[in-house]
Structure 1
């Protein structure tokens, strides 16, 4: 892949959004999405695509950056972990050989030594033919470092959700209220009911797809549903704050605090968590209907996975009309 390091290449093509009032969250699905509440965001610019392997390669070539997954692990941060696991690597999804108890995700997720953004499924895998796929196996620190190099930042959860909704306030999906309008598949999600062992392959992809493979939302933003989960810069909270009247809606809200963002189900780990949004190619209606704008999950800041990537934003108080608004016609 060719490295491009000039400023114009790093920041070109961002979509300008006006900002405004919208309904964040949902009262209809998972408890961490509630309560639905009004929020205001100022205007900003956002990447139309998730950052690709080619773009991340340009960053690494220009800076010599080494990702978290490529660095040695500190045993103090992983009490009780087998020594053989305390080597550079990352979390990789592997389909099971048949139906399994979906309460135990360790059956399809494994720590793979040598897995990194260059080797998303571990040694033997590569990205030579995946330049336009979203980069994965990046920890929050890695995504933030790229964003700083690009003169940008990671989006807040509110910015990300506002952008994902594309002006369809309160809609179920980024494109409306029907999962498949007219029977059309509009996101790279798990195909068929047999997660995590058998996919029908309807989408044409069993892992990531090249960015832009599916239609954009009304703002001209691609893959705001499915393909890869995306980092935000907000600390995880298990619920949204109590809803306020529209007149008193918070402006540019931020998430909680690092010390309160730990997963109570795993108290032995001292790693705080940030919010990820958007769902991924592993979202199955029978298991994880989280390819919706309101959906949110916690992700340990030091852990990349083979279905987590990111996109960037830049502040822009005088953003002007959403440049992608006329793309409504491309959706059914």
Structure 2
């Protein structure tokens, strides 16, 4: 059955198939996007419908990104700080364009903002990947009363600024995904709007992709978004609804990372390529 009376334009849901290596499946259906009492740019809340999709279980790591650069399929980028180059730390300091190119080189793409939010909060509007309980250092890599990155100092220069941990340093929560709260901000595909009301129909209904439905250029919109908070910021930023805008050129420079997503067709192609016959 498709989306029914609530979402008459929704296609028939595709069942979760075996996820490609390193990915997890987020099943089709409606979910509560945004908030009526959160930050101004998260309003208003609305139910939207998404087809099944697949999401990287972890943020893309330094080693994975640098391997793509070495293969000449990605552009050199990030990080710009010391102690950010451990192989399993999330890559940081990349432009939106770099993140987009990496995902495409893997046969994937950046998640839409709606996909990222559903993966983080599930269908019923939870505030975090684990539920509505607040973010703590037991659940996520954030700034708390002990300092940034849960009190762990960065080596060499400016130790008080902290650093991201290796991916998967905290438990996997919803859908088996790691670090959807804290550790590293994550780029998503959409252009940024000041709130969902400004976005209008492009942020509503079935498979919303944000302004201009995710077109490469969108008149009047110049910023993209990162989601999820990071080691540098406190619990208020590490929610499933918090939206932070930034220029896709990453100027001024910030330490943002990303993870990739795949449609059912893209996931099938990845599985076929990974099979012995592929």
**What range describes the TM-score normalised by the shorter chain of this pair?**
0.7 to 0.9
Task: Specify whether residues 20 and 243 from structure 1 end up closer, same or farther in structure 2 by C-alpha distance, changes over 3 A only.
Answer: farther
- Count how many residue pairs are aligned between Structure 1 and Structure 2: 231
- Name the residue aligned to 1:293: 240
| C-alpha RMSD of the superposition | 2.6
- Name the residue aligned to 1:12: 21
- Name the residue aligned to 2:138: 185
Cα displacement (A) at 1:38: 0.4
Structure 2 spans left out of the alignment, 5+ residues = 1-19, 154-161, 213-217, 268-278
After superposition, residues 243-282 of structure 1 pair within 5 angstroms as 250-257=205-212, 258-261=218-221, 272-282=222-232
Structure 1 spans left out of the alignment, 5+ residues = 1-10, 70-115, 193-197, 262-271, 320-332
Deviations 1:40-87 (A, max 9, x none): 0001111000100010011001116434x6xxxxxxxxxxxxxxxxxx
After superposition, residues 55-70 of structure 1 pair within 5 angstroms as 55-63=64-72, 65-67=74-76
Structure 1 distance, partners of 2:73, 2:265, is 33
Q: Is the 8 A contact 2:43 2:195 kept in 1?
A: yes
* Larger proportion of helix: 2
1:219 is paired with a residue whose SS is: helix
2:196 is paired with a residue whose SS is: coil
Cα displacement (A) at 1:317: 6.5
Alignment pair present for 1:46 and 2:1: no
- Name the residue aligned to 1:313: 261
Q: Is the 8 A contact 1:155 1:313 kept in 2?
A: yes
1:163 is paired with a residue whose SS is: helix
Off by >2 Å, runs of 4+ in structure 1: 64-67, 125-128, 200-206, 241-244, 257-261, 304-307
Largest Rg, 1 or 2: 1
Cα displacement (A) at 1:18: 1.4
Structure 2 distance, partners of 1:57, 1:49, is 16
Structure 2 distance, partners of 1:250, 1:317, is 22
Alignment pair present for 1:237 and 2:193: yes
Alignment pair present for 1:199 and 2:147: yes
Deviations 1:60-118 (A, max 9, x none): 01116434x6xxxxxxxxxxxxxxxxxxxxxxxxxxxxxxxxxxxxxxxxxxxxxx33x
Structure 1 distance, partners of 2:194, 2:209, is 14
Cα displacement (A) at 1:146: 0.4
Structure 1 distance, partners of 2:199, 2:227, is 20
Task: Specify whether residues 254 and 58 from structure 1 end up closer, same or farther in structure 2 by C-alpha distance, changes over 3 A only.
Answer: same
Question: What TM-score comes out, normalization by structure 2 length?
Answer: 0.76
Cα displacement (A) at 1:217: 1.5
2:186 is paired with a residue whose SS is: strand
Structure 1 distance, partners of 2:199, 2:224, is 21
